[in-house]
Amino acid sequence: MENPEKNSILIVDDEIANHIYLTHLLGSDYKLILAKDGKRGIQKARELLPDLILLDIIMPDLNGYEVLAELKKENETWEIPVIFITGLNSSEDEIKGLSSDAADYIFKPFNPEITKLRIRNQIRIVNQIRMINHLSCTDQLTCIPNRRGFENQIEREWGRTMRENLPLSILLIDVDRFKLYNDTYGHQQGDVALQTISNKLIETLGRSSDFVSRWGGEEFAVLLPNTDLSGALNVAEQLRVNIEETPILLVSGEVTKVTVSIGAYSVIPTHDCLVGDFLLQADKALYNAKNSGRNRVCH
């Protein structure tokens, strides 16, 4: 069985012999994705978002410089490090490659040890950056993404759903009368309540693409890709009911419960739409839910 923890590498090269060689050299350590020309390489980079790209420069359709330029234009792929693999071995060629935003440069014919070391070093950097980003985008109390994590995710989903002409829905969730809960039971117990709610949100949502984050304080945000307003309202109501029915244990052994108000909004993103307006409409829906009695869903 393939190790799911392996980093992925996309190899873009028109020479099948190089695919075979690099598969033999790297296949036991990484998950490899193969593309035999620049257009397929760009497509696979967009679809699969590999951790690293090995990119030949001399190819018949798009050359490596053109492929790299396309990858650097797009939000989803511009951060993926690219190592040029090429027989162009003059210092001028290497300078040109590195000046084109390539992360590194490997000469053909391949030296197996140098090739493995240069790739290993780039993968280490990728993993270190990923860990730093994960820590900076994670809420310490609930261990779910924080506001920054949400902003990164909505940027990705906004672009994807716009390209695919699909709906994107959001739920803004506010814990009802949370200040009173904190005043009554203490802030430590308030933390327990927030942890319980975040766990229930994750437990209720059934798709891996659904995204839960702590919006701030006692508010949470849920992104529902490929979901229209009707579907979002169904999900919101299920979340509301499940949270209302979930017991929250006190240190004394007693049980408390909380309710939430939820604002839902859905849109098919276009170039005329703004993420800020999308969030504003969801916030207005949440305001309506709170001001029309709480413990309800509004849109």
Could you write out the DSSP letters of every residue in 150-183?
HHHHHHHHHHHHHHHT--EEEEEEEETTHHHHHH
Residues 232 and 114: their CA atoms lie apart, in Å, by 52
Rounded alpha-carbon distances, angstroms, from residue 294 to 179, 204, 219, 263, 290 = 14, 20, 14, 11, 4
CA 171 to CA 222: how far, in whole Å? 5
User: What's the residue count for the chain?
Assistant: 299
248 Rama sector, left if φ>0, alpha if ψ -120 to 50, beta otherwise: beta
What is the Cα–Cα distance from 185 to 187, expressed in whole angstroms? 7
Residue among 190, 163, 295, 299 at smallest CA distance from 251: 190
Catalytic residues: 218
